[in-house]
Structure 1
Amino acid sequence: MEPFTLKKSAGQPVVKAAVINGSFSEKVTLEPGLNIIRVSAGRSEIAVPVYLISQQKKENASNENWGAQAQIVFTSPTEPKTNSREVSIKGVVTNPNITSIDAAIMNTMYFLSEDASAGGDSKGGPRKIDYKSVPVKNMQFEIKAQLTEGLNVILARPDGKPAIADKIQIMSLVYEKVSEQLLLEEPQLEKGGVAIRGKVIAPGVRKVRLNITALVENELKPGVIAPVSLLDTTVNVESDGSFAYKASLQDKKGVYTIKYSPTITVFTENSSASKTLIKWQ
């Protein structure tokens, strides 16, 4: 077991577990934040990412000086948003001695949240953390990654070893889901809120469900960040398939402050589409 980010107190414990009837069990100690659990048997090895949320004073990931001294440079994608769940992330290294890159891809909801853990999706969807290890060839690398809806963060470190945050490169990439049955226009910011418009292509749909979720800071517990559903409502669909709704995007005084990119998702019975606001204030 090893932490993804190097910490002064952390080691890299290696334990041997007995295999009985093809099964094994072992307890390990995790560090707050992203950990990589490696299990090897003979020549085979698997790596499983696990994110531990500290129940005490949390080391705030947003305050780390990510990438300040990184020898890794992302070159693609160049656009901040994509409509593809599966993406190719390319880059170069500035140190010719770097032979491999480890990358962790996760939604910002899990990276910064105080009450979310990562590892798998009970509904069979993509894992909340996508962990990759790729070789560096001619000082270049390519990572095939799978995104989740909303704002994703990509962390990359050299040579498969824990590194301080300064040497871990970071990139943000938004995945917005599109649908052939549901067109969602780019939201338009208005005073105190956002105008949401779209059109349902599928016939016979009379209502859509609208949800807005964002990471907010609890004003009663400063520093505690968690995902909150700001709005979950139904919207009528007009005879031509169009729909429109103006939603508030204001902080709730005394309760929470919106901190990170709200994601707007519109659902019909058989489809959904989403947009994420990078700037909303």
Structure 2
Amino acid sequence: MHLALYTHASCLAHDPGAGHPESPARLRAVLEALTHDRFAGIDRIEAPRATRTQLELAHSPGHVAQIFDAAPAGDASLRIDADTVMSPDSLDAALRAAGAVCAAVDDVLAARHRRAFCAVRPPGHHATAAQAMGFCLFNSVAVGARHALASGLQRVAIVDFDVHHGNGTQDIFVSDPRVLYASTHEMPLYPGTGLRRETGVGNIINEPLPSGGGSGEFRAAYRERVLPALDAFAPQLLFVSAGFDAHRLDPLANLNLDAEDYAWVTHELVALADKHAQGRIVSSLEGGYSLTALRQSVQAHVAALIE
């Protein structure tokens, strides 16, 4: 099978605490969903740790050092901000999450697999070059994108359909024309960024969606703006920040997508990758806080990556 799944037990051990929406149950639900017979042929690969050198492709050395130094020991936890918490296993989980994306890049560029799904946590797309925030410590997809560029590619694209704008990814690439970043997200909503006028150096495509919007608005944003921009950019590798919290069941937002919308957009992205990038896609889990929606949406997304 041309799809590989990257994950690690440490990503289950990261524990922000009782009642926190970014719980280990999220990843358990994802992994359970991928035990279905139709996914039996997926290669399952243990994610390595990202190196400091890899992390510093997207993050300042000071930020990397701060996260390493902040890692608590024993039974302690550390609250970085109102939303972002480190437990004793959080550093290793974040290293494995970024390492999964880098390993997936290496494997698709070496043609060991055409596509990859990284079932990892904590998520990453809110982490800026110099700041952890919004449940995110390191920006795994941004690290992977810079790793791909360091490996010799000249153009990579990141598509982010998480319901929250990936302010961290935008921050990291806002002046880097080698990377096209395209996001659909609810607005107004945390973190408050992602207006259409935020265009970087012509490489940032923001398509905010209104609260209460659903399939029609989502698909129109892709047909009318995101997909044409990707086609014109012709990426050599496509990344997906795969957040599933725009689903109608999600408790943290107010969009009304369903699993069929995630299947549709993934099929569209596969077609673009087949046209421009030898089929190469690396997708990584971001948000999604309804376990039912996560199971359904991940199955739809990964099935479309396989097809």
Q: Shared topology, TM-score over 0.5?
A: no
* The structure with more helix, counted as a fraction of residues: 2
* The structure with more strand, counted as a fraction of residues: 1
Q: TM-score, normalised by structure 1?
A: 0.24
Q: TM-score, normalised by structure 2?
A: 0.23
